[in-house]
Amino acid sequence: MITVLSDTHSRSGHELAGRAKEAVEESRAVVHAGDFTTESVLDAFEEVADRLYAVYGNNATPGVRDRLPPERTFEIEGVRFVLTHGDDRGATGLSLLGRQQAADVVVFGHSHRHAATDAEDVLLLNPGSHADPRGGIPTHAELRVAEDGENETTDARLVGEIRRRDGSVVETLEVE
């Protein structure tokens, strides 16, 4: 499983609770779209995640910015990801970024609101914020490799959900 998070906005720890904490502990990879805020928060994630793919956000301290890039591209399970915190690019700009990097998924944050948008050749995924939802619900995303026959209508390679802290599903998604 791949757990996707963003916008922790803490000064002391990872602020993981409920299903988000369980998902991180069970995951083969954790993807974080930034705004850890401080190095101690980044350290806390590195302690609980076997493999952490992360970028810094607009509220990162200089120490976090020294340790993380603003954007990165990587592959997990044959799926190509572009990871950025998010900015004023909007859906069109994020979609273009994904196509420029030949990505299947663009993961972003910044808004603290979950969203999964199929932008033709690329999925735009914002997991929301597990710790600081700013008036919304605390959410994260969980992705897994699709098993043969799991999805009869498409040839999805990854399937997943955006989940609340209690584990309930807010939205389902797939990456073809």
Instruction: Tell me how far apart the alpha carbons of residues 87 and 59 are, in angstroms, rounded to a whole number.
Output: 12
DSSP 9: -
Question: For residue 159, what are the β-bridge partners?
Answer: 144, 174
Q: What is the pLDDT of residues 88-135, one digit of tens each?
A: 778 889 999 999 999 999 999 999 999 999 988 899 999 999 998 888
Q: Which domain holds residue 146?
A: 2-175
Q: Look at residue 61 and tell me whether its pLDDT is greater than 80.
A: yes
The count of structural domains within the chain is: 1
Q: List Cβ neighbours of 33 (8 Å cut-off, separation of 6 or more).
A: 4, 5, 6, 7, 54, 55, 57, 83, 84, 85, 86, 107, 108, 109, 110, 126, 127
Q: How far apart are CA 162 and CA 128, in angstroms?
A: 9
Question: What phi-psi label fits residue 127: left (phi over 0), alpha (psi between -120 and 50 degrees) or beta?
Answer: alpha
What is the per-residue pLDDT for 88? 73
3-state secondary structure of 152: coil
Q: How confident is the model at residue 152 (pLDDT cuts 50, 70, 90)?
A: low
Question: Please, which pLDDT band fits residue 145 given cuts at 50, 70 and 90?
Answer: confident
139 to 6, 8, 39, 45: CA distances (angstroms)? 9, 11, 23, 17
CATH number at residue 146: 3.60.21.10
Task: Find the mean pLDDT for residues 7-18.
Answer: 91
